[in-house]
Chain A
Amino acid sequence: MRYMVMHYQTQAMEDGVKPSPEQQTAIGEYMQEAAMAGVLLSGEGVAPSSAGARVEVEDGTVRVIDGPYAEAKELIAGFAILEVDSLAEAVEHARKFALLVGAERVDIRRVLEYSDL
């Protein structure tokens, strides 16, 4: 089964503070870790919300709001898709990621499959 492991931004990320060389090394190390475990299918990181936009729909009216947004810690900073046996296994990978990269919060959600529909 697949899990999407999403880590949330810290205020520093949102402020556009570039990851330190140590952090970059840690991220690389984690990617290598997960790939070496044979579980990493895909993953991406995203830029601060100032480089993005949001589409909101209310009563059929669409509003496009440019970033940045105030609630920095509610925003996703990146994701990885892992293929593992169980939620518990995904949690162990997420734990490693959080510890290595210094994320404050990581959400782990199962990816829906055809058989779920």
Chain B
Amino acid sequence: MRDDASHRAVTDIGSLDRTVAALWRVESPRLIARLVRLLGDVDTAEEIAQDAFVIAIEKWRAEGVPSNPAAWLHKTARFLAVDRIRRHDTQRGKYRQIAVTTPHIVDGEVVDGDLADDLLGLIFMVCHPILSPDARSALTLKLICGLRTEEVARAFLVPGPTIAQRIVRAKRTLTAANIRFELPDEKERPARLDAVREVIYLVFNEGHTATSGDEWIRRDLCAEALRLGRMLATLTPREPETLGLLALIELQASRLDARTGPAGEPVLLLDQDRTRWDRLLIRRGLELLRRTQELGGAAGPYALQAAIAACHARARTAADTDWQRIAALYDGLAQISPSPVVELNRAVATGQAFGPEAGLTIVQPLLELPAMRGYHLLPAVAGDLLCRAGRHDEARHQFLKAAALTRNGRERSTMQARAAACADGHAAG
């Protein structure tokens, strides 16, 4: 039996394709990271990684997958890279010079550095603040998560050519600005880490509350963000804000299953079946939050948001929620990273802790802000507070506004349903 199975693995094309696809996913970020450090250039690194895979597929189709395909790919890619460097240098007649100035090449041989440093260097490079957040996310999903261009396109619900172009332009920007593969020094590091975390949070949020498409949650994007967050937390284990960010998204992801009803409609936090919350992710989130606090990072913006998410995770029922603590955490968040969106959340928490009128006091100034005019969650929150304050007619007006503003189909139906419920409440009241 066992012999049959291994024989089948060798000749079955479908199984070879699956293995190669999985290997690309697992190994290509590492391969490319090593190659970029060696060659300095993302494009060439990607090309050589692809070449290594092409050679692998041909060879494995005939001979079967070796016992250690990852090692084989790394060896082949390294061979191709060294060959490229030598040819390049010979052409330019300065082989010796490069051999002296590139620390990774000693006597013409490549010396492997620390893989963790290579990966981190590549992450810093593709998340460089010189790139727009969109370009950073696309490049990150492609090179760090190992997605193919068409998969990145599917993830962002944009046509393949659009993403391909976005990636090409991003790479061109990196080259034009002479962005090298490097680990930023102490002074530059915090800002560069912020840029990386921003990408992770953006990708997660786009998955968590999809701004386009008919699905309310995009699990694939959440999964990529978690993968990235877990990578970064492993690579920089003593960065409190990175751990805080990961704690936050682990805790938010723990509720994904419960956030969608049987017909795909959104289920709000307080209405969720808490037995469907993912205990493993909650445990991970709480542990990460504990480590963040141990590292003295409890007051960072991501850590505060994680602490808020943790309040919900700890409450066995919605009624057990410690709203006063959540409102206090939002007060802190509003101090260190004030934004209209934080204010809006503070209004929700305050409304729960101290009554709808208290929440409306915070919401009122937001309704005047031009910047918030197109933000559908503002009228959604205002509607909810007004409804609870018994002001059904005003509430209905706000829910309809929210329905008109959202780009998400599922959310629109929910808002319309709440508006209709308000009309009933008004009639009844």
Contact = CB atoms under 8 A, between A and B. Distances in A.
A42 B119 contact: no
B230 A40 contact: yes
Nearest to A90: B22
A6 to B, nearest CB: 16
Interface size range of chain B in the complex: 20 to 34
Interface string B220-250: 0001001111110011000000000000000
Contact of A36 (B18, B22, B25, B234): B234
A83 B119 CA distance: 20
Contact of A92 (B26, B223, B280): B26
Contacts of A40: 230
DSSP class of A's interface residues: helix, strand, loop or mixed?
helix
Q: Determine which residue in B18, B68, B228, B234 has the highest number of CB atoms from chain A within 10 A of its CB, and name it.
A: B234
A83 B228 CA distance: 12
B180 interface: no
A93 B19 CA distance: 11
Q: Determine which residue in B69, B227, B281 has the highest number of CB atoms from chain A within 10 A of its CB, and name it.
A: B227
A88 B21 contact: yes
Contacts of B276: 114
A43 B18 CA distance: 26
Contacts of A92: 19, 22-23, 26-27, 69-70
A28 interface: no
Nearest to A114: B257
Interface in A30-44: 32, 35-42
Contact of A89 (B22, B234, B284): B22
B116 interface: yes
Interface size range of chain A in the complex: 20 to 34
Contacts of B230: 35, 38-40
B259 to A, nearest CB: 12
A85 to B, nearest CB: 6
B367 interface: no
Contacts of B101: none
A76 interface: no
Given A32-B234, A89-B26, 19 more contacts: A35-B234, A36-B116, A36-B119, A38-B227, A38-B228, A38-B229, A38-B230, A38-B234, A39-B230, A81-B280, A85-B25, A85-B223, A86-B22, A88-B19, A89-B25, A92-B27, A95-B67, A95-B68, A99-B67
Interface of A: 32, 35-42, 81, 83, 85-86, 88-89, 91-93, 95-96, 99, 113-115
8 contacts: A32-B234, A37-B231, A38-B230, A88-B21, A92-B23, A93-B26, A96-B70, A114-B276
